[in-house]
Structure 1
Amino acid sequence: MAPAAAAAFAAQVLRGRWFMAYGSFLIMSAAGATYIFAIYSKDIKATLGYTQEQLNTVGFFKDVGANIGIHAGLVAEVTPPWVVLAVGAAMNLGGYLMLYLSVTGRVRPAPPLWLVCLYIAVGANSQAFANTGALVTCVKNFPESRGVMLGLLKGFVGLSGAIFTQLYLAFYGPGGGGDTKPLILLVGWLPAAVSVAFLGTIRIIRAPRPPGAFLYVSLALAGYLLVAIVLQKRFRFTRAEYGVSATVVFTMLLLPLGIVLREEAALFKFNIRNAPEAQADAPALPPVTVAASAKPAPTAGARLLAALRPPPRGEDYSILQALIGESLGYPQRSVATFVSLISIWNYLGRVAAGFASEALLARYRLPRPLLVAGALLLTVPGHLLIAFGVPGSLYAASVLVGFCFGAAYPMILAIISELFGLKYYSTLYNVGNVASPVGSYILNIWSHRVLLRLPGRSGYGSGVCSCVIFVLCRKDAEDCLQ
């Protein structure tokens, strides 16, 4: 390839639709820091001298930050995606860095509880900005494959817990003596760096269906992580062996780049052969845009009535219209293993639900709400295993709970987009997440206080409470370890 053609091809790749999708995958694979809170929460409790109730409060504010992102959606309505990602990167770095300095004793005197809650809430809230900037943009770019893209992107978020664990073990284990404080620093700088790296990449570019090879690469990554976690649980790995494992993970994260180059090379050759027709590749404005511009401006009363009158289902709604492991005796190593397993099964559930729900809807007209109900029903055995504290049941429960919760999440987000449209999806996507922190507060902090007043508050009662929290809060299963 001539130098000029090579430069043109490189520019096309960097500005192309597939590199945009790849950047979204990487941002999502680093946006799940809140899922590994159970790994480093013990150090927060020990170094800051917190009680379990105080640690639950910190966990609650972590959930608040991770799930309340309406403001991120509103910012995305009036700014390009790079602004949303930049704000999220700054919040991630600032929040987790201050949490790390507090836990390591570099901040004197030790910050009060409310300030630690603020730090973790700010850091966790960056996840809402990453989801809004990358995931929502990608769904808008692939409107005909929204279920598939939601499954893939949310799948990479589900894998992020296992990815972070592998990187942490490679950088700081196993000689760290169980010290997980460096993990807080890792989740502070790495997601911010990934978001900054793709600030100029994530933007609106309408595209056809994504290549199926993206799915195969992500499945291979999940399969490798599953095998690695099982081997690391069974055998004692050295620092060098953990480093090799992390290198394999990093290499597999780069594999989708080959798919990007293949797709862009085919498009590049097509554009060279059909230069006069190259403009046809750009999406044309829908006819309704031209027609709407010729209509007279509606009066204030007409605009208010239109805002209150819901459009047909699937059309674009306006915002106004739309509006425990330690108690079971598991060691720290098992906690990290369980969190990683939850991440992998969460990923498999999200990807399977994204592809399967899209296919079942297109072929058999099977509605997604029915599939969501079926997925939640399958979590019942997993909840019961945790509630009754069956020895060794936590790992079997990770399969059921992780897979089914992972399956429900992308389908719920797809349902929101199908009911209310994609025009204001940045905000509507975040509105759907508000229920989780509300339920977390009521059923985690409040129920913990109630249990302390009940006779026989340990054992079965605590397990049943955890079961109820799982069902009603849609919390990730690793939170039972707190």
Structure 2
Amino acid sequence: MNFFGYFMIWLAVTGRISKPPVWQMCLYICIGANSQSFANTGALVTCVKNFPESRGSVLGLLKGYVGLSGAILTQLYHAFYDNSKALILFIAWLPAAVSFIFLRTIRIIKIVRQENELKVFYHLLYISLGLAGFLMVLIIIQNRLNFMRIEYFGCAFVVTVLLFLPLAVVIREEFNLMKTKRQALNDLPQLQVVSENSPSAEFLSVTEEPKTEAAAPQTEKHVSCLENVFKPPNRGEDFTILQALFSVDMFILFVATACGVGGTLTAIDNLGQIGASQGYPRHATTTFVSLVSIWNYLGRVVSGFSSEVLLTKYKIPRPLLLTIVHLISCVGHLLIAFAVPNSLYVASVIIGFCFGAQWPLVFAIISEIFGLKNVNPIRVPFTHTCHLWAGLSTTKPTPSAYARCLP
């Protein structure tokens, strides 16, 4: 979808095909722009399912990198292309290539919570903060100086290295896990082999449990999806799609998202025109428009990690944090509305931060209220998940297995 939509736009812009009508161009834009929603949903839902105890941190990291993606693509584009029309072709093939290359890494894994899981996420956070800081400095310098192609290439190389640096953290953790497992196997106690004819074997004999006939499977009555639309379960349990859509909670979330995200996004999209109308110089307008993506990133990672800490330690719910973010964004809107001198700098920071902060909170709230059953390809039973969190096996050892393990 991504490649088809933007590639058709590139063919039309460069004149390689006949000029399409307006509705056809709108269709190409719709297909290309909405393609990222599928990749976004697949990655977010899978990671939240794999790390249910750290969903805030996971969402903050993933949405934070999404916030930096525009600045990252800009640096890569300047390094490889010098034609503005080539940007459309670049946007067409790069996301599609990344999706195909890393497709197998997006998968459900066995949930075994590690002791240092949160510590690893903080290491990934520090790397992303370094990338965001480098991009911020880079944007400011590039707006003041004229870069050559070789300089753009060097900047793109550093950005790529910082982008793939989390792989070093992952490889290190996998190596440590492998080392721990190998050490645990070497530390196993020596087992004594007992012959069946020896007297001590009598003490090891275990009577087998009587076999019980398997109960006849009970046929459950099929319930139509339309019969329980207005009979939702308790909050936190698994809702069906229709139950979630017609619930009061979803309506409130929809209105809050439409007003909060819609209001901040409208202000961000029009910052250039707002700055020009209020008499700001052109270079200043360009600078704070470019830096909005950095504040957007900071809002995403801060809300993701801070909401996890506040919920765990102080029991502060995420809906309350979302309300606070909306109230803070109102301050930015008021600064723009009253045109206070030099206030647009502060307003752009507030609005960019609040726009990014809303996304991890909204996704985490939806997963906490409506469950993950119907937004995830695989459902893990609750008891199974609890055992895996504790690092235990759910398979009950048989008496003979106990006997073989006796020293």
TM-score (norm 2): 0.71
2:247 maps to 1:322:
no
Query: Which residue is equivalent to 2:231?
Result: 309
| Residue 168 (structure 2) aligns with | 258
Alignment deviations for residues 303-345 of structure 1 (CA, whole Å, 9 cap, x no partner) = 8655653222111111121113247548997776545412111
- Residue 212 of structure 2 aligns with which residue? none
Correspondence 1:247 to 2:247: no
Match runs of 1:35-184 below 5 Å:
91-108=1-18, 110-173=19-82, 176=83, 180-184=84-88
- Point out where structure 2 has 5 or more consecutive residues left out of the alignment: 189-214, 246-269, 378-407
Mapping of residues 425-464 of structure 1, within 5 Å: 425=375
Residue-by-residue CA offset, 1:132-184 (whole Å, 9 max, x unaligned): 221111111111111111111000100101111211222235xx5xxx32221
Identity %: 57
Aligned residue number for residue 47 of structure 1: none
Other-structure match for 1:196: 100
Alignment partner of 2:299: what SS? helix
SS of structure 1 residue aligned to 2:373: coil
The count of aligned residue pairs is 317
Give 1:409 deviation, angstroms: 1.3
Offset of 1:425 from its aligned partner? 2.6
Match of 2:382 in 1: none
Letter in 2 for 1:190: L
Q: What do you get for the CA RMSD once the two structures are aligned?
A: 2.8
Q: Does the 8 Å contact 1:152/1:351 carry over to 2?
A: yes
After TM superposition, give the deviation of residue 258 of structure 1 in Å: 0.6
Q: Measured at CA, do residues 301 and 123 of structure 1 come closer, stay the same or move farther in structure 2, by a change above 3 Å?
A: closer
- Cα 1:134–1:302 change in 2 (3 A) is closer
1:7-26 to structure 2, matched below 5 A, reads none
The answer to whether the 8 Å contact 1:147/1:414 transfers is yes
**Distance in 2 between residues matched to 1:122 and 1:331, nearest whole Å:** 37
Q: Quick check: 1:95–1:123 contact (8 Å CA) kept in 2?
A: yes
Q: Distance in 1 between matches of 2:372 and 2:231?
A: 18
Give the 3 Å change call, closer, same or farther, for CA 235–395 of structure 1 in structure 2: farther
Aligned mate of 1:344, from 274, 291, 294:
294
Q: Specify which structure has the higher proportion of helix.
A: 1
Q: In the alignment, which residue of structure 1 is the partner of 2:128?
A: 218
Match for residue 296 of structure 1?
218
Q: Is the 8 A contact 2:332 2:351 kept in 1?
A: yes
SS in 2 for 1:186: helix
CA distance in 2, matches of 1:400, 1:295: 59
Q: Which moved more, 1:391-400 or 1:128-137?
A: 391-400
Q: Indicate if the aligned counterparts of 2:296 and 2:354 stay in contact, CA closer than 8 A.
A: yes
Q: In the alignment, is residue 375 of structure 1 matched against residue 285 of structure 2?
A: no
1:369-394 CA-to-partner distances (Å, cap 9, x unmatched) read 11111111112232234445667655
2-structure distance, mates of 1:309, 1:294: 30
The 3 A distance-change label for structure 1 pair 152 and 327 is: closer
> In the alignment, which residue of structure 2 is the partner of 1:431?
none
Quick one: structure 1 residues 240 and 111, their matched pair in 2 at CA, closer, same or farther if it must change by over 3 Å? same
CA contact (8 A) 2:275 2:344 kept: no
Change in CA separation of 1:375 and 1:311 when aligned onto 2, cut-off 3 Å: same
Q: What is the TM-score with the length of structure 1 in the denominator? A: 0.61
List per-residue Cα deviations over 1:449-481 (Å, max 9, x = no partner): xxxxxxxxxxxxxxxxxxxxxxxxxxxxxxxxx
Q: CA deviation at 1:193?
A: 0.8
Q: Report which of the two structures shows the higher radius of gyration computed on alpha carbons.
A: 2
